[in-house]
C-alpha cells in the first residue's frame, strides 16, 4: 500500500496524525511494508524566521483571538497529543519558516534515513523547542538521524537545492484541492483529511487493503473523505 502524506513540520495535527497512522498500521499486521511518501506543504510560505515572539502571541494575531484563548487552544492540542504519547511543549516552541526543513527532508528522501529525519524534526520542534529554521540546528538534527554532515551542509548552504521538489509537492496539493494538512492519500483512491480518530484510520486502511490492486487515480474519482463521524465515498 502506498500512503502519501502532505504535511508541515510546524503543524501540530500533522505530528499527531502521523502518530495515529503509525499506531493504526501497528494494529493491522496484514498491511505489510506500506510505502510512506512524505509530501511538502507549507502552511505559511511567507512566515518570517523566529524573532522571539511566543507562539500564543502569533496565533492570537493570526486568528483574531485573545492570548488567553490561544493558550487554551494550545492546551487542548497538548492533551490530544498526549493521548498518542507525544509531549508537546508550547512554551518552548519557536514559530518560524519551514522551507529549509522541507528542502532538507527532500534530501533525506534520497537516503535511507528519511523516516528517522522526519520524526526527529517533529520531535525537535514540538517537544524540544528547537529552532528548525536554523542551519546549525537542522544540521545537528539531520546528522543525529543518520544523514551525512557534509551533504546536509551543502544543501542548507544553497537555497535552490531541493526547492523544485518541495514546489512540486505543493503544486500537486493545489491540483488535488488540498488546502489543509495533514492530508493522507491511500493508494491514490481514498483520502483522510486531518488527524482523525484512530478508528477512522483503521477503517480507511482496511478498506483500501481490501480493494487489492485497484488502479483508479485520485484524479478519476472523488476521495473517500473522513471526518469525526466516519468515512464517505463521494462519487465524481
DSSP symbols for 31-81: S-S-EEEEEE--S-TTPPPP-S--HHHHHHHHHT--HHHHHHHHHHHHHHH
Is the pTM of the predicted complex or chain greater than 0.85?
Answer: yes
Task: Give the closest residue to 84 by CA, choosing from 39, 126, 124.
Answer: 126
Quick check: helix, strand or coil at residue 230?
A: strand
The strand ranges marked E within 87-208 are 183-186, 190-193
The H or E element spanning position 224 is: strand 224-227
pLDDT tens digits for range 147-174: 999 999 999 999 999 999 999 999 999 9
- What pLDDT is stored for residue 211 in this prediction? 85
Question: Is residue 178 a contact partner of residue 41, using CB atoms and an 8 Å limit?
Answer: yes
pLDDT tens digits for range 185-222: 999 989 999 999 999 999 999 999 998 744 443 433 33
Quick check: helix, strand or coil at residue 4?
A: strand
- What pLDDT is stored for residue 212 in this prediction? 74
Q: What are 233's strand-pairing partners?
A: 224
Question: Is residue 182 a contact partner of residue 195, using CB atoms and an 8 Å limit?
Answer: yes
Contacts 24+ apart (CB under 8 A), 56-60: 56/90, 58/95
Residue numbers in the chain where pLDDT is lower than 70: 213-236
Amino acid at each position: 500500500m502506498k500512503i502519501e502524506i502532505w504535511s508541515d513540520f510546524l503543524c501540530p495535527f500533522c505530528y499527531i496524525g502521523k502518530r495515529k497512522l503509525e499506531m493504526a498500521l501497528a494494529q493491522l499486521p496484514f498491511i505489510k511494508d506500506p510505502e510512506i511518501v512524505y509530501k511538502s506543504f507549507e502552511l505559511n510560505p511567507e512566515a518570517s524566521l523566529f524573532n522571539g515572539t511566543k507562539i500564543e502571541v502569533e496565533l492570537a494575531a493570526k486568528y483574531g483571538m485573545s492570548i488567553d484563548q490561544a493558550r487554551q487552544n494550545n492546551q487542548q492540542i497538548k492533551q490530544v497529543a498526549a493521548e498518542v504519547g507525544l509531549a508537546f511543549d508550547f512554551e518552548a516552541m519557536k514559530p518560524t519558516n519551514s522551507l529549509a526543513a522541507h528542502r532538507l527532508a527532500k534530501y533525506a528522501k534520497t537516503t535511507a534515513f528519511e523516516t528517522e529525519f522526519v520524526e526527529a524534526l517533529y520531535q525537535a520542534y514540538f517537544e524540544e523547542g528547537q529552532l528548525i529554521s536554523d542551519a546549525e540546528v537542522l544540521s545537528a538534527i539531520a546528522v543525529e538521524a543518520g544523514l551525512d554532515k557534509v551533504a546536509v551542509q551543502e544543501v542548507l548552504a544553497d537555497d535552490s537545492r531541493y526547492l523544485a521538489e518541495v514546489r512540486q509537492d505543493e503544486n500537486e496539493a493545489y491540483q488535488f484541492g488540498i488546502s489543509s494538512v495533514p492530508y493522507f492519500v491511500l493508494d491514490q483512491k481514498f483520502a483522510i483529511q486531518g488527524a482523525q480518530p484512530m478508528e477512522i484510520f483503521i477503517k480507511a486502511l482496511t478498506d483500501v487493503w481490501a480493494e487489492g490492486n485497484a488502479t483508479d487515480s485520485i484524479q478519476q474519482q472523488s476521495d473517500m473523505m473522513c471526518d469525526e463521524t466516519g468515512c464517505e465515498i463521494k462519487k465524481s
